[in-house]
Structure 1
Amino acid sequence: MLDNMPRGTICIEDIEIGMTRNLTKMVTDRDIELFAEVSTDHNPVHLDDDYARDTIFEGRIAHGMLTAGLISAVIGEQLPGHGTVYLGQSLKFMAPVRPGDMVRAEVEVTQIDFAKRRVTMDTHCAVDGRVVLKGEAVVLAPSRKFD
Structure 2
Amino acid sequence: MSKTKLTPLSEEHLDMVLEWRNKPEVRANMYTDHIISKDEHYQWFEHIKSEKTKRYFVFYIEQQPCGVIGFTEINQNAGTASWAFYSGDTSIRGVGSKMEVSALNYAFNSLGLNKLYCEVLEFNDKVITFHKKHGFSVEGIFKNQHFSKGRLWDIYRLAIFKKDWNRLSIELPLMRDNKFGPGKTFTHQFSISKEQVLMFSEASSDTNKLHIDDAYSREYGFDKSLVHGFLSGSVFSKIFGTLFPGEGTIYKSQSLEFKSPIYPNTELNAKIHIETKIGNRLKVRTLVLDKDDNPAITGYAEIILPLETA
- Does residue 140 of structure 2 align to residue 140 of structure 1? no
2-side partners of 1:121 and 1:91: how far apart? Answer: 12
Please report how far the alpha carbon of residue 57 of structure 1 lies from its aligned counterpart in structure 2 after TM superposition. 2.4
Instruction: Name the residue aligned to 1:126.
Output: 289
Aligned residue runs from structure 1 range 49-128, under 5 A? 49-114=214-279, 117-128=280-291
Secondary structure at the counterpart of residue 256 of structure 2 = strand
2-side partners of 1:33 and 1:98: how far apart? Answer: 13
1-side partners of 2:176 and 2:257: how far apart? Answer: 27
Indicate how the Cα distance of structure 1 residues 60 and 14 shifts in structure 2: closer, same or farther if over 3 A, else same.
same
Which structure would you say has the larger Rg?
Answer: 2
CA contact under 8 A between 1:88 and 1:139: conserved in structure 2? yes
Indicate how the Cα distance of structure 1 residues 47 and 21 shifts in structure 2: closer, same or farther if over 3 A, else same.
same
Of structures 1 and 2, the one scoring higher in RCO (CA 8 A, sep 6+) is 1
TM-score under structure 1 normalisation? 0.85
1-side partners of 2:183 and 2:284: how far apart? Answer: 9
Indicate how the Cα distance of structure 1 residues 112 and 10 shifts in structure 2: closer, same or farther if over 3 A, else same.
farther
Indicate how the Cα distance of structure 1 residues 145 and 85 shifts in structure 2: closer, same or farther if over 3 A, else same.
closer
Letter matched to residue 144 of structure 1: E
Whose helix proportion is higher, 1 or 2? 2
Letter matched to residue 300 of structure 2: E
Deviations 1:12-64 (A, max 9, x none): x6321111122111221112111112222111100012211111424211001
Instruction: Name the residue aligned to 1:44.
Output: 209
Please report how far the alpha carbon of residue 134 of structure 1 lies from its aligned counterpart in structure 2 after TM superposition. 0.4
2-side partners of 1:119 and 1:18: how far apart? Answer: 11
2-side partners of 1:144 and 1:100: how far apart? Answer: 36
Q: 1:25 aligns with which of 187, 190, 193?
A: 190
1-side partners of 2:254 and 2:309: how far apart? Answer: 26
CA contact under 8 A between 1:106 and 1:123: conserved in structure 2? yes
**Aligned CA-pair RMSD:** 2.5
Please report how far the alpha carbon of residue 125 of structure 1 lies from its aligned counterpart in structure 2 after TM superposition. 0.2
Indicate how the Cα distance of structure 1 residues 138 and 90 shifts in structure 2: closer, same or farther if over 3 A, else same.
same
Structure 2 gap ranges (5+)? 1-160
Letter matched to residue 135 of structure 1: G
Secondary structure at the counterpart of residue 57 of structure 1 = coil
Indicate how the Cα distance of structure 1 residues 45 and 58 shifts in structure 2: closer, same or farther if over 3 A, else same.
same
2-side partners of 1:88 and 1:15: how far apart? Answer: 18
* Number of residue pairs the alignment of both structures matches: 143
Letter matched to residue 27 of structure 1: I
Please report how far the alpha carbon of residue 10 of structure 1 lies from its aligned counterpart in structure 2 after TM superposition. 5.8
Letter matched to residue 80 of structure 1: P
1-side partners of 2:264 and 2:224: how far apart? Answer: 10
Letter matched to residue 126 of structure 1: L
Stretches of 4+ aligned residues off by more than 6 angstroms? none
